């Protein structure tokens, strides 16, 4: 019988198994002494040895996996391990000693997938299934494969306060939240995904800790830099005195998830909110550590969220022949915003930057990557935003119509299908799923669920009320929420019903119009897999390979030269009126929106899109 392999990442932080016991280490330079307390029914205290640089360490022969422990500060406060691998009783409770090598992996032949094959499905573990846990996601893996997905992008699972949260309020970045399951449950999900050919990418937050349960301030003030201020208080210390340990903490976290959990990549949340004036900065250090470490043996990818559109982060490195090169890509908010303005005509907030000519902004995204490549942003007070991006390949830009942010940051969490016509939705879906850039789908989008995805959390009483009040104040600047009574209708983030309302209803798959939309996604993703993906390899840049042959305020026409010298052409009418346009004459039809079936020759109906492919001449 072929036994599975075991994977463990050795860290200088936390509880590490050693021969004959456990080594406990914590960096607490702000306190003079630290006591380890074991809490296994009876409590036992053990003094730790402090070094001059602020590390507290203890090798304990009587400890073993399954032990619960906390650290006792001189003032009597008990705190969990900041590098805890698991906190079964939430962020204020004891940490558990975990044997990372106890799980047997059966995916040894898995080396990942090239980034050109990426079709990304973003999901929230707690609302994706009725069970709301890792097992609930695993139960739907076959469905995702049949849909045409190749990569799961899982919203943050790092331990957060309470029973429900989007995940961006995590305070124990090494510990999967207990509401989703134990560490071995997450590993079982990843192993099962690999067995089905699915990549798994985890969303991680390195720009802040959540507002409840972060005890680092109590014993490690050096972990924060008061020179930089954020909405959460002092920034994480990536560039001040004694910053090396904080930098290593997050580099270790990135490598830990990839090596110990065999993840295929990470999405770094909001790197524009990271303050780091070093060179290389922490994002570059993490990228290099991944690419020169686990990325030398298998495909490992890095996704960035970056409002600054800093294209230099996305530039590939040259590696020696034979090494697998993971992708570095960014969520392309510009493309989403342009499409949102085109389809909904909403121009509040950051959408105002795209109101003047959204078709031009969309075209630039498809042809060059970013819409803003150094131009001033009126929404940001005229500040210049972005860097030139046309030299990058299309795989550097992740396109999407919906994400947790773009739905959940609306007051009532409306989906796009509730805001636009079915014809408009079909047209922009066809653009999303067949363009050379990797597409991202947010859970439920593929069957046009009408269920909202709301902002939810589960904080302590005082903080909960502050979050609820703050959420409603945020919308006071919008015209439709000027009336206080209207703002009071915004769902309370801390209410259990807000979370329950956001859970997907999978029975919708068997009803119209949901089944028709699901069939459209399957058809388009099948076309992408068979016709587009095999031709993307070798398409090293957008500029020079993309031609904008025609554009009006409502019509766009683009042609991409793909990696095998074939040509992919898009012709679309994204307006509400019929247009006269010469149809493509060469190439074979890949897809046309359903309203083209009854269209007159050389007429583009409102909200129509045509894709054609011209094979390379041999």
Mean pLDDT, residues 465-477 taken together: 85
Cα gap 499→123, rounded to integer Å: 14
Mean pLDDT, residues 133-153 taken together: 98
Residue 454 and residue 491 in contact, taking contact as beta carbons nearer than 8 Å: yes
Question: 269 catalytic, yes or no?
Answer: yes
Higher pLDDT, 472 or 397: 397
Per residue in 319-352, pLDDT tens? 433 445 578 999 999 999 999 999 999 999 999 9
pLDDT at residue 112 in the model: 96
State how far the Cα of 227 lies from the Cα of 386, in Å rounded to an integer: 25
Task: Return the percentage of the chain with pLDDT > 70, whole number.
Answer: 97
Cβ partners under 8 Å of residue 557, min gap 6? 548, 549, 550, 551, 569, 570, 571, 572, 581
Residue-wise pLDDT for 77-95, tens only, equals 999 999 999 999 999 999 9
Q: Which residue has the tokens 């993703």?
A: 525
DSSP states of 27-82 = E-TTSS--EEEEEESEEEEEEPEEPTTSEEEEEETT--TT-EEEEE-TTS-EE--T
More confident site: 429 or 538: 429
CB 294 within 8 A of CB 300: yes
Rounded CA-CA distance 81/87 in Å is: 9
Q: What is the pLDDT of residue 2?
A: 45
Residue 378 has pLDDT above 70, yes or no: yes
pLDDT at residue 388 is higher than 90: yes
Report pLDDT for 582: 73
* 604 DSSP β-pair partners: 579
This prediction's pTM: 0.96
> What is residue 585's predicted lDDT score, i.e. its pLDDT?
67
Residue 551 has what pLDDT? 80
Residues 6 or more apart in contact with residue 19 via CB below 8 angstroms:
none
Q: Is the pLDDT of residue 589 over 50?
A: yes
Is 187's pLDDT higher than 90?
Answer: yes
Residue 333 three-state SS: helix
Confirm whether 357 is a catalytic residue.
no
Residue tagged active-site, from 138, 153, 269, 567: 269
Reading the block at residue 183, the tokens are 């560490």
**Residue in 16, 239, 260, 305 annotated catalytic:** 305
Q: What's the confidence (pLDDT) of residue 413?
A: 96
Work out the average pLDDT over 5-34: 95
How confident is the model over 480-509, as pLDDT tens digits?
A: 788 888 888 899 999 999 999 999 999 999
Interval 202-224 mean pLDDT: 96
Phi-psi region of 462 (alpha: psi -120 to 50; beta: other; left: phi over 0): alpha
Residue 21, pLDDT score: 96
Q: How confident is the model at residue 324, as a pLDDT?
A: 52
């Amino acid at each position: 019988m072929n036994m599975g392999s075991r994977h463990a990442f050795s860290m200088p932080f936390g509880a590490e198994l050693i021969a004959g016991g456990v080594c406990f280490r914590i960096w607490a330079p702000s306190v003079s002494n630290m006591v380890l307390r074991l809490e296994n029914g009876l409590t036992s205290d053990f003094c730790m040895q402090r070094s001059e640089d602020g590390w507290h360490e203890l090798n304990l022969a009587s400890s073993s996996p399954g032990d619960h422990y906390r650290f006792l500060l001189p003032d009597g406060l008990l705190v969990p391990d900041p590098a805890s691998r698991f906190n079964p009783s939430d962020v204020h409770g004891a940490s558990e000693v975990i044997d990372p090598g106890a799980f047997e992996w059966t995916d040894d032949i898995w080396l990942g997938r090239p980034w050109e094959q990426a079709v990304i499905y973003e999901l929230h573990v707690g609302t994706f299934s009725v069970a709301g846990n890792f097992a609930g996601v695993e139960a739907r893996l076959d469905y995702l494969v049949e849909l045409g997905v190749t990569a799961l992008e899982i919203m943050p699972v790092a331990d957060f306060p309470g029973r429900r949260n989007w995940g961006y309020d995590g305070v124990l970045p090494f510990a999967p939240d207990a509401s989703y399951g134990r560490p071995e449950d997450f590993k079982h999900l990843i192993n099962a995904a690999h067995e089905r050919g699915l990549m798994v990418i985890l969303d991680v937050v390195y720009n802040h800790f959540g507002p409840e349960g972060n005890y680092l301030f109590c014993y490690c003030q050096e972990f924060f830099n008061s020179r930089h201020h954020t909405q959460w208080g002092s920034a994480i210390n990536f560039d001040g005195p004694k910053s090396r340990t904080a930098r290593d903490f997050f580099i270790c976290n990135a490598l830990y998830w990839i090596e110990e959990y065999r993840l295929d990549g990470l999405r770094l949340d909001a790197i524009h909110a990271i303050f780091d004036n070093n060179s290389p900065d922490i994002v570059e250090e993490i990228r290099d550590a991944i690419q020169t470490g686990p990325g030398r043996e298998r495909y490992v990818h890095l996704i960035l969220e970056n409002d600054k559109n800093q294209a230099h982060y996305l530039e590939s490195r040259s590696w020696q022949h034979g090494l697998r090169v993971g992708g570095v890509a960014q969520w392309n908010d510009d493309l989403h915003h342009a499409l949102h303005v085109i389809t909904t005509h909403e121009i509040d907030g950051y959408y105002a930057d795209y109101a003047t000519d959204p078709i031009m902004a969309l075209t630039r995204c498809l042809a060059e990557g970013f819409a803003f490549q150094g131009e001033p942003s009126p929404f940001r007070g005229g500040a210049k935003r972005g860097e030139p991006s046309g030299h990058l390949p299309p795989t550097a830009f992740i396109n999407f119509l919906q994400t947790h942010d773009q739905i959940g940051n609306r007051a009532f969490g409306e989906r796009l299908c509730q805001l636009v016509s079915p014809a408009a939705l079909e047209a922009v879906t066809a653009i999303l799923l067949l363009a050379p850039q990797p597409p991202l789908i947010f859970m439920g989008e593929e069957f046009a669920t009408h269920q909202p995805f709301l902002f939810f959390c589960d904080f302590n009483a005082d903080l909960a009320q502050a979050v609820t009040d703050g959420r409603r104040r945020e919308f006071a600047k919008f015209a439709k929420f000027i009336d206080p009574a209207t703002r009071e209708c915004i769902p309370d983030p801390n209410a259990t019903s807000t979370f329950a309302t956001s859970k997907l209803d999978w029975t919708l798959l068997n009803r119209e119009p949901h089944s028709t939309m699901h069939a459209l996604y399957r058809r388009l993703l099948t076309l992408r897999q068979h016709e587009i993906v095999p031709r993307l390899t070798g398409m090293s840049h957008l500029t020079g390979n993309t031609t904008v042959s025609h554009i009006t305020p409502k019509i766009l026409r683009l042609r991409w030269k793909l990696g095998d010298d074939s040509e992919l052409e898009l012709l679309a009418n994204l307006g509400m009126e019929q247009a006269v346009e010469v149809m493509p004459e060469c190439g074979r039809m890949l897809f046309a929106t359903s309203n083209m079936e009854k269209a007159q020759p050389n007429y583009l109906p409102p909200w129509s899109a045509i894709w054609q492919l011209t094979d390379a001449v041999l």
